[in-house]
Amino acid sequence: MTQTTTPKKKLFLRSWGCQMNVYDSHRMADVLAPLGYAPVDAPEAADMVILNTCHIREKATEKLFSELGRLRVMKEARRAGGQDMLLAVAGCVAQAEGAEITARAPYVDLVLGPQSYHKLPELVARISRAAGSVVDTEFPTEEKFDHLPEASAPQGVTAFLTIQEGCDKFCAFCVVPYTRGAEYSRAPEAVLAEARRLVAQGAREITLLGQNVNAYHGADAAGAEWGLARLLEALAAIPGLLRLRYTTSHPRDMDEALIAAHRDIPAVMPFLHLPIQSGSDRVLAAMNRGHTADDYLRLVDRLREARPDLALSTDIIAGHPGETEADHQATLRLIERVGFAQAFSFKYSPRPGTPADGAAGHVDEATKDRRLQEIQSLLRAQQAAFNASKAGQMVDVLFTGPGRHPGQLSGRTPWLQPVHAIAGLELVGTVQPLRIRAGHPNSLAGELVSPPPNQEQHAA
């Protein structure tokens, strides 16, 4: 009789920020599993705690140290009871501010950047030999994916897959080139192999991730370079993979082949996150975005010509250094012209070491607050209108899991809208036509209109 070995160590992972951090956290758990670490939902009894940080959000460093203060108390309590808690800080704040972390929080055992988590077993071993904190914030990007284990924990019906890291654009406000390094694209064979594993584990929708994902240029074993459009075409041929998405894109890398992919590949969903950041050419130039507002609008027109039902989301920064009231009004006009289904908007927040941090003309907080409120008011109205427009329509919904109420399932439309409907658990992982009863500001309510058709047509 085979005896199952129960993991003896508990791992708590907390991620902030983008979906790439969520993906990275999954892979850190995969790397640590052979050492006997199993994920838990709370840090109090954990043998190891990893905070996977993001430098994009406002006051990221302050939030990190606040969380570390709470964890220090837990670490000391465990030590008093004869146990230990390894405390690690990973991600972009770790990369950018590793020295400050070890200086302000010497009880942190490990600081590692986004390109080092494949070395976690080695780093954990080094902690046992080190007198102080272990820091690894190098940039061996090409090695990380080569050394990750093939086996990974199932992500569910919807899964994320990193295909590209880093960025060469150097936007004035952004720390990504400094924390994630230069652009690097995984080999298409590796991406396809991981996608097949995800589908075998139950994934029906995969979102491809990258700091600048549409700059993907992976070289295959024969040395041929693939663009994102070719990769999407190959992924769409995987049996059982029903839907494909990708994020985050840069307008300068949206080439004609990728626009055509939205028209020609049914699995590519009609939803695209395409950050604009500002509607003012003057501010876009100060941001070093490399395109104008008119460039963006013409690109949107070409995309919608290729895929008329395409919905767009975007990023907007309010109060970038040097932004005037006229610049702000130009942003509002661009938002009105495009019509976004979703959006992320933020006040400009200085990032040490970036060009914008040292620029003249920083906008006062009250003005940034007011401009952000005006931007968000318009964006909320657009999202609510987009959701309301689906009421009465028949929409294909991918059911992803149980809803909050008994007998309810949650799912996603092709446009990434959450949908709730009364349906049985046997429909999880299938795409079903639903009549949308109502469109709410943040979700939709739907209903099955007939007995589900043969599920073999909708799921692997």
Domains along the chain with CATH numbers: 9-140 (3.40.50.12160), 143-388 (3.80.30.20), 394-457 (2.40.50.140)
Any binding-site annotation on 174? yes
Identify the pLDDT of residue 460: 33
Identify the pLDDT of residue 356: 92
Task: Supply the DSSP string of 264-308, one letter for each residue.
Answer: H-TTB-SEEE---B-S-HHHHHHTT-SS-HHHHHHHHHHHHHH-T
Report residue 459's pLDDT band, with 50, 70 and 90 as the boundaries. Answer: very low
Any binding-site annotation on 167? yes
Condensed to tens digits (0 to 9), the pLDDT of residues 2-52 reads: 444 445 789 999 988 777 778 788 888 887 887 778 889 999 889 999 999
* Cα dihedral: 459, 243, 147, 85 (round 10): -80
Strand 418-422 to 408-412 pairing: antiparallel
Whole-prediction pTM: 0.75
Report residue 446's pLDDT band, with 50, 70 and 90 as the boundaries. Answer: very high
Identify the pLDDT of residue 122: 72
Any binding-site annotation on 279? no
Condensed to tens digits (0 to 9), the pLDDT of residues 200-239 reads: 999 999 999 988 999 999 999 999 999 999 999 999 999 9
Identify the pLDDT of residue 438: 94
Once rounded to an integer, what is the mean pLDDT over residues 371-382? 96
CA atoms of 103 and 232, how far apart (whole Å): 45
Identify whether the C-beta of residue 54 lies closer than 8 Å to the C-beta of residue 60: yes
Average pLDDT, the chain: 87
Once rounded to an integer, what is the mean pLDDT over residues 236-251? 96
Report residue 261's pLDDT band, with 50, 70 and 90 as the boundaries. Answer: very high
Q: Among candidates 262, 322, 314, which has minimal Cα distance to 288? A: 322
Lowest mean pLDDT among 127-141, 156-170, 180-194, 245-259: 127-141
Q: Is 70 exceeded by the pLDDT of residue 324?
A: yes
Condensed to tens digits (0 to 9), the pLDDT of residues 73-83 reads: 998 888 888 88
β-strand partners of 235: none
Q: Is 60 exceeded by the pLDDT of residue 135?
A: yes
Any binding-site annotation on 116? no
Chain length of the chain:
460
Count Cα neighbours of 305 within 13 Å in the Cβ-side half-sphere: 8
CA distances from 189 to 37, 163, 425 (A): 29, 11, 34
Condensed to tens digits (0 to 9), the pLDDT of residues 430-439 reads: 999 999 999 9
Any binding-site annotation on 92? yes
Any binding-site annotation on 287? no
